Amino acid sequence: MSETRRDWSRFALLVIDLQQDFWPERLAHCFPELPGRIRRLLELCRGEGIEVVHLRAAFQPEGSDWMVRYRLQGRIPCVRGTPGVDPLPFAMDAAGEAVIVKQTFDGFHNPQLLEHLHRRGTQFLLVAGLLTSTCVLFTAASAAQLGFLTAVVDDCCADEPSAHAQTLERYQFVFDRTAVDDILERYAAWRADLERLSVLASEGPA
């Protein structure tokens, strides 16, 4: 039995676009520790009972579900039937974990994600994955605007290094930041924030 029993029932982890096309050799070279950190993050969340939701891009080969800019360019990553759409080996989904497919930068453009989180009573989202300045940012920003408390697990994200750093610094008014090894320490403060929000909701408008 663990010394501390933590209730993570209102929390979920969003794992975004950890797929072959978003993990080129140059990015892997810049972030060599990411695979191990993602493994630790998934192990921690599964061990603690934090729900894991995988968001993955996937597009039809003929372009019917591509964003218009990519239609004009004639190419897009993560086309169904190509190796690029496959999840990275260190970020495979476990049995029973939700996998939600998206065709936009922002995972919430697929209404299935919000419906799933509301059905589960989720109020706090941990966010990790690729790329920091694009799908991680857009999804985390939508989460915040949809009423979720949100924390980006910054050492479990990657991007072109300057874009990664600038995004994490610039948007701290949108989301909290944490690291995989700090999640358990932050639990009490995050729970206190959730409880305070519950009190404010019960009190109604001033």
pLDDT tens for the chain, 206 residues long, are: 345 689 999 999 999 999 999 999 999 999 999 999 999 999 999 999 999 999 999 999 999 999 999 999 999 999 999 999 999 999 999 999 999 999 999 999 999 999 999 999 999 999 999 999 999 999 999 999 999 999 999 999 999 999 999 999 999 999 999 999 999 999 999 999 999 999 998 887 65
Domain range spanning residue 184? 11-203
- The answer to whether 129 and 16 have CB atoms below 8 angstroms apart is yes
183: domain CATH number?
3.40.50.850
Question: Could you tell me if 120 and 51 are in contact, meaning their C-beta atoms sit under 8 angstroms apart?
Answer: yes
- The whole-angstrom separation of Cα 124 and Cα 126 is 7
pLDDT at residue number 1: 39
Give me the pLDDT at residue 2, please: 46
Does residue 64 fall inside a structural domain? yes
In a domain, 2, yes or no: no
Task: State how far the Cα of 119 lies from the Cα of 30, in Å rounded to an integer.
Answer: 38
Work out how many domains the chain is built from and give that number: 1
Token pair for 120: 């589960």
Structure pTM?
0.95
Q: Does 159 reside within a domain? A: yes
Give pLDDT, residue 201.
Answer: 87
What is the C-alpha to C-alpha distance for residues 206 and 159, in angstroms, rounded to an integer? 43
Answer yes or no: is 67 within a domain: yes
What is the pLDDT, as a whole number, of residue 203? 84
- Confirm whether 6 is domain-assigned: no
**pLDDT of 206:** 58
The structure tokens 């996937």 sit at 58
**5 assigned to some structural domain:** no
Query: Cα 91 to chain center, whole Å?
Result: 12
Phi, psi of 56 (to 5 degrees): -135, 140
Query: Please, are residues 15 and 153 in contact by the beta-carbon 8 Å criterion?
Result: no
The pLDDT, as a whole number, for residue 4 is 67
Decide if 1 is inside a domain.
no
Q: Is residue 130 part of a domain?
A: yes
